[in-house]
Structure 1
Amino acid sequence: MDYYDLIIIGAGPAGSTLARALQDSGKRILIIDKQAFPRDKTCAGWVTPAVMDELKIDLDDYNTGRTLQPIRRFRIGMMGQDAVENDHGAIVSFGIRRCEFDAYLLDRVSSPKALGTPVKSIVRKGANWVINETWEAPLIVGAGGHFCPVARLLGDGPGRHETVVAAKEAEFEMTAEQASVCEARGDTPELWFCRDLKGYAWVFRKGNYLNVGLGREDNHKLTDHLEAFVKEMKAYGRIPDTVPGRFKGHAYLLYAHAERPLVDDGILLIGDSAGLAYTQSGEGIRPAIESALMAADVIRKAEDCSASSLQVYGDAIAARFGNRAAEDEDGWQVPEWMKLALASPLMRSHWFTRKVVTEKWFLHQGVPLLASAV
């Protein structure tokens, strides 16, 4: 049996950030992930300058041999309407490929790694946890996304108020012919909101790579909405006629409606396993990074691995992202017809699509950097 002070399950951005933040702590850390890296990860794939700053990524270094698409504009619209294009006048985000980004972050970590290793068992043994009858630690951190096996230890899955967003997308490298007819521009991601406001789709070009996808709250209609969107984008020339037919799916929880506990005795959840995706946009990379940095601070200072000692992390998450909103569900709600009536003209407004949709909901420009950024 190999003993560690901390075992992190999930080697994505949250898990790798936590391990790197604790590299000089003297703690023995193991990272486990069911996949080998680089891995194929479904994600639209853009990160804000704030994420790059919090991770202290040298942009010139990252851009060497990897995709780093500067973003200066956004095209935003409601399906069936003309889009509004806004020029932000500066780089407000970067397009990345998750297979490259995740591997880059993990390569910066010196801790031992068990990659390509599914977690088959997690068993409590006294004050410790035993993983796969091989590794033992008093603290395990769930960083394995929505279906993280550590998260399953803290409950029976999503509660009745939790909003699980299901998404499907495809990312592929365009041929020269496809690139020549694709009207989507690399510095201008396109966001298209469903008319019932239950989700949105996107077209995102990153050099010769194109990412097309759609996410919704009601996943039983997801495929129909995606097919209709792809057909419309092809008709308008936004994407080539020959988009690969295979779209990959994934799911995540929206922060304001998630009910998952964040800590228990010897357990802590970060990133998507904790349900931290921004409620308005579903973007999860910045919350994943910041939750990992906050968890590192708590782990450094905690007297032990009890739930009472780790609860400081839960308090820090609430202070940073706000309190969960599930308890407010019984309050007065805006009728659906009113939402639709208001949304249609708003999505034609340059001010609303720029100041609210892009800068507030998707870029979170008013949110200062986390003080504990590595």
Structure 2
Amino acid sequence: MVQRYDALIVGGGPAGSTMARTLTQRGYRTLVVDKQTFPRDKTCAGWVTPAVLELLAINPDDYRRENIMQPIHRFRIGMMGQKAVENDHGSEPVSYGIRRCEFDHYLLERSGSDRAEGVKFKSLERTDDGEWCLNGEYQAPLVIGAGGHFCPVAATIGEGPGSHETSVTAKEVEFEMTPEQARHCRVREDTPELWFCRDLMGYAWVFRKDNFLNIGLGREDPDDLKQHLNSFVARMQAEERIPDDLPGKFKGHAYLLYDHAERPLVDDGILLIGDSAGLAYTQSGEGIRPAVESAFLAADVIQEAPDYRAASLQPYADRLRERFGTREVEHEGGGLDLPDWAKLRIAPALMKTHWFTRRVVTERWFLHEHVPALETAS
């Protein structure tokens, strides 16, 4: 027997769970469908800013009673091959380190939505009455794609995820250190380290959260990813910043940067949010805040829409543009854009300064302190 809902949400990450909670609180009957069973591992460096916690109404003290939430007060930033610059941001945390397996499970648990975990996406078909039927089991007039870069819903309304897209590929490992490994780790819990590739095509990170260590590197040219990652890890080990014996393999994932994404965002009865819509911040690749904000923006449009035709859902795309700006791929000339050779010549010098690494890299690119809080209908 087919189960009917007001909305089907494919993907239970921060975007999907935020959408589920928001719509459920507004009286919609929702179902979150995810191919994995939570809690599950998620490849991600894993930090959230106070702005995200405020928007999600999460009290850090309450959250950390059962989960890791590492306050961040400092950043150590450099370009590979150069000395790092350390900046202290004061006594109040400017961000918090989280484990995605815990954070995503926490958000989904409190969503109040029905859930179908461990269910793979097999089919999405129109019914005779114009609604959508997922896997022949779940039916709704609206389907929300929140399944990340490779979201199957995104594939139904465009060319789909593929090599034609300019995506970032990243590899990361996160593990709990043994006492011996902890003794050989010089990375401070409150001080994430960011190391930019000299060709400016990506960056690496080392991030300690309590006794868990997260190491990774992301680049826009996946062919050279393994070489850059191995070189970075070897250097960090030679400098005795991370343990020599890293357990397990580095796991990979991909995502679209906002400026480079060209995916359609809406169709009749379909809407994309989070990484499935390609919303990660262009400079940092951080995707949690735009994912959460996109869910709130979409929920407002859904509530206001007279129906779920593409034209009625189009205001969602307009509000994303108002919030995050016009994508680079939408620009038709104009503006100042430095050539690559100029960027490569200037960047090493800038990365040696406290002003640039703090005011631009940290506060603007990664923390987005200049971005005002999102106003929503909730």
The TM-score range, normalised by the shorter chain, is: over 0.9
* Superimposed CA distance per residue, residues 159-178 of structure 1 (whole angstroms, 9 cap, x where no aligned partner): 88842000000000000111
Match status 1:191 vs 2:198: no
1:73 match: 74
Conserved? CA contact 1:55–1:373, under 8 Å: no
State whether structure 2 residue 361 is matched by structure 1 residue 365. Answer: no
Residues 109-168 of structure 1: per-residue CA shift (max 9 Å, x gap): 122100011111111224111100111111100000000000001111358884200000
Residue 309 of structure 2 corresponds to residue 299 of structure 1? no
TM-score (norm 1): 0.97
Task: Verify: 1:178 aligned to 2:181, yes or no.
Answer: yes
- Aligned partner of 2:59 in structure 1 is 58
- Which structure 2 residues correspond to residues 311-330 of structure 1 after superposition, within 5 A? 311-328=314-331
Q: 1:135 to 1:246 in 2, by over 3 A?
A: same
SS of aligned partner of 2:259: helix
Extract unaligned runs of 5+ from structure 1: none
SS in 2 for 1:86: strand
Corresponding letter in the other structure for 1:232 = R
Contact 1:54 1:373 in 2 (8 A): no
Identity of aligned residues (%): 65
Question: How far did residue 336 of structure 1 move?
Answer: 2.0
Q: Which amino acid aligns with 1:77?
A: G
Matched-pair contact (CA < 8 Å) for 1:161–1:257: no
RMSD: 1.4
* Structure 2 equivalent of residue 340 of structure 1: 344
In the alignment, is residue 163 of structure 1 matched against residue 166 of structure 2? yes
For the Cα contact (< 8 Å) 2:149–2:161, is it kept in 1?
Answer: no
Size of the aligned set, in residue pairs, is 374
Aligned partner of 2:133 among 115, 127, 130: 130
Give the C-alpha shift of residue 306 in structure 1: 0.4
**Contact 1:161/1:259 (<8 A) preserved:** no
Q: Structure 1 residue 47 and structure 2 residue 48: aligned?
A: yes
Q: How does 1:242-321 map to 2 (within 5 A)?
A: 242-321=245-324
Per the normalisation by structure 2, the TM-score is 0.96
The amino acid of 1:288's aligned partner reads: A
**Equivalent of residue 107 in structure 1, options 106, 109, 114:** 109
Q: In 2, distance between residues paired with 1:69 and 1:24?
A: 29
The one-letter code of the counterpart of 1:311 is Q
Distance in 2 between residues matched to 1:150 and 1:163, nearest whole Å: 19
SS at match of 1:215: strand
Task: Please state whether the residue corresponding to 2:9 is helix, strand or coil.
Answer: strand
Residue matched to 2:359: 355
Q: Distance in 2 between matches of 1:284 and 1:243?
A: 26
Is the contact between residue 168 and residue 215 of structure 1 (CA under 8 Å) also seen in structure 2?
yes
The runs of at least 4 aligned residues of structure 1 exceeding 6 Å deviation read: none
Matched position secondary structure for 1:22: helix
For residue 61 of structure 1, report the CA deviation from its aligned partner.
1.3
CA distance in 1 between counterparts of 2:330 and 2:136 reads 39
Does the 8 Å contact 1:271/1:287 carry over to 2? yes
Matching of residues 9-28 of structure 1 within 5 Å: 9-28=10-29
Q: Equivalent of 2:151, from 148, 156, 174?
A: 148
Q: How many angstroms apart in 1 are the aligned matches of 2:28 and 2:363? A: 39
Distance across 2 between alignment mates of 1:28 and 1:52: 25
1:139 touches 1:267 (CA, 8 Å); kept in 2? Answer: yes
Aligned to 2:94: 92
* 1:241 aligned residue (225, 244, 249): 244
Counterparts of 2:267 and 2:178, CA distance in 1: 50
Secondary structure of 2:24 counterpart: coil
Q: What is the identity, as a one-letter code, of the residue corresponding to 2:83?
A: D
Output the CA distance in 1 between the equivalents of 2:170 and 2:159: 22
Change (3 A) 1:100 1:51: same
SS in 2 for 1:23: helix
Alpha-carbon contact 2:150-2:161 (below 8 Å) kept:
no
Q: 1:210 aligns with which of 198, 208, 213?
A: 213
1:38 to partner: Cα distance: 0.3
